[in-house]
Amino acid sequence: MDKLRIGIVGLGWVSQVFHIPQLRRFEDAEIVAVCDKDKSRARIIAEQCGVSHFYTDYQQMLAAEDLDAVDVCTSTDAHLPITLAALEAGKDVFVEKPIARRYSEAAQMAQAAEQHKRKLMVGMNNRFRPDTMILKSFIEKGEIGKIFYIKAGWLKKLSSDNKWITHKDKSGGGVFLDLGIVLLDLVLWMLGFPPVLRVNAKMYLHKTKSVEDSCIVFLEVKYGITLVVETSWSFHSEQDFFYCDFFGSEGSAMINPLRINKELHGSLVNVIPAKVETGYNLLMKSYENELKHFVGAARGLHPVISTGVEAMQRMKVVDAIYNSAVKGREILIK
């Protein structure tokens, strides 16, 4: 089979730093067209990629180019129309996280993929980190027993480059839709996608106007599991934090760095991987693994994971979280 022919829509930070450099290194894929509303940005990046045609209108790109797949890296509000158009045009679609601004949009996208029998993959690169993959294998082998409590958090300075992210009409929400959804997905994936039963959320606007810049969520997941997620763009902390700690009946486990605490033959031990990538390398590796997975799935080598259907379930929880914050009370999820 020939190389997978990919068109990229949206040429901001995530495209430039992660998607384009990775895709250009692949031997089984090819960027054949790029599209961005900013014409000069589209032209410059087309030159860098050795692509002769660039577009400012994704409809024109879909019409003119012979693409196998479309990689959607735009602001969140554009995910729905572009994805629908691409699926309708018979392309497989990779869409960056979050899939959409709300559950109803996600549902449309998942249904369109099913209807047109195309692959729809949602960007969740943290599932593809070397350390989270090791941790998942340890958890599945029962190293820490039955998990009952997880706490996760992501505190990160807001990048001033991504201004659309603070406008609700474009982003759908604030820090939870930007960072919290990643943690939510990571935890649910690690646990095998149990249903979330009820949520309780508090949101704060300190440096933003239309969306929350801090958010604390308390969730009850099926089987009596408790999950607490804290996210912020505005915490005054010494450095960015990303953590995810799992507590089980036989031990506990955490990432950043990856380690397990448990009993072994009667002694409490720490189990620490001898060598795992960290920092920038780990991040790069996660995008490489993720995009390789998408290319392989589009080429029919394996089923796709992180699908639109999975994202629907996740977005139902997200809707409930925003609802809880607005109502100031607990929300049950049916």
Q: Which residues pair with 88 in a beta bridge?
A: none
Residue 110 burial by CB count (10 A; 0-12/13-18/19+): exposed, middle or buried? buried
Question: Residue 99 or residue 217: which is nearer to a copy of itself going by CB?
Answer: 217
247 binds a copy of itself (CB under 8 A): yes
Question: Scanning the structure block, which residue is given the tokens 């009946």?
Answer: 249
176 binds a copy of itself (CB under 8 A): no
277 binds a copy of itself (CB under 8 A): no
Question: Residue 10 or residue 251: which is nearer to a copy of itself going by CB?
Answer: 251
User: Cβ of residue 271: shortest distance to a copy of itself, in angstroms?
Assistant: 5
Conformational region of residue 2, where left means phi above 0, alpha means psi within -120 to 50, and beta covers everything else: beta
User: Cβ of residue 125: shortest distance to a copy of itself, in angstroms?
Assistant: 20
Edge to edge, the sheet with strand 331-332 lists 259-264, 251-254, 241-248, 147-155, 225-232, 214-221, 196-204, 331-332
Q: How many residues bind a copy of itself (CB under 8 A)?
A: 53
Segment 213 to 242, residues that bind a copy of itself, using CB under 8 A: 214, 216, 218, 220, 224, 226, 228, 230, 232, 235-239
Cα–Cα distances (Å) from 146 to 68, 94, 172, 324, in that order, read 43, 34, 35, 29
Segment 257 to 276, residues that bind a copy of itself, using CB under 8 A: 261-276
60 binds a copy of itself (CB under 8 A): no
Q: Token digits for 184? A: 């939510």
User: Cβ of residue 36: shortest distance to a copy of itself, in angstroms?
Assistant: 22
Residue range at the interface with a copy of itself (CB under 8 A); choices 44-52, 62-70, 173-181, 210-218 = 210-218
Edge to edge, the sheet with strand 69-72 lists 54-55, 29-35, 4-9, 69-72, 92-95, 120-122
115 binds a copy of itself (CB under 8 A): no
Question: Residue 7 or residue 248: which is nearer to a copy of itself going by CB?
Answer: 248
Taking residue 67's Cβ as centre, other Cβ atoms within 10 Å add up to 20
Question: Residue 201 or residue 298: which is nearer to a copy of itself going by CB?
Answer: 201
User: Cβ of residue 153: shortest distance to a copy of itself, in angstroms?
Assistant: 9
User: Angle CA(204)–CA(205)–CA(208) in degrees, nearest 5?
Assistant: 150
Q: Which one of residues 58, 94, 138, 322 is an interface residue with a copy of itself (CB under 8 A)?
A: 138
202 binds a copy of itself (CB under 8 A): yes
Single-letter residue type at 255? I
Residues 6 or more apart from 310 whose CB is under 8 A from it? 122, 193
Q: Which one of residues 200, 208, 286, 306 is an interface residue with a copy of itself (CB under 8 A)?
A: 200
328 binds a copy of itself (CB under 8 A): yes
User: Angle CA(56)–CA(90)–CA(101) in degrees, nearest 5?
Assistant: 60
Q: Which residues bind a copy of itself (CB under 8 A)?
A: 134, 137-138, 141, 143-144, 148-149, 151, 198, 200, 202, 204, 206, 214, 216, 218, 220, 224, 226, 228, 230, 232, 235-239, 247-252, 261-276, 328-330
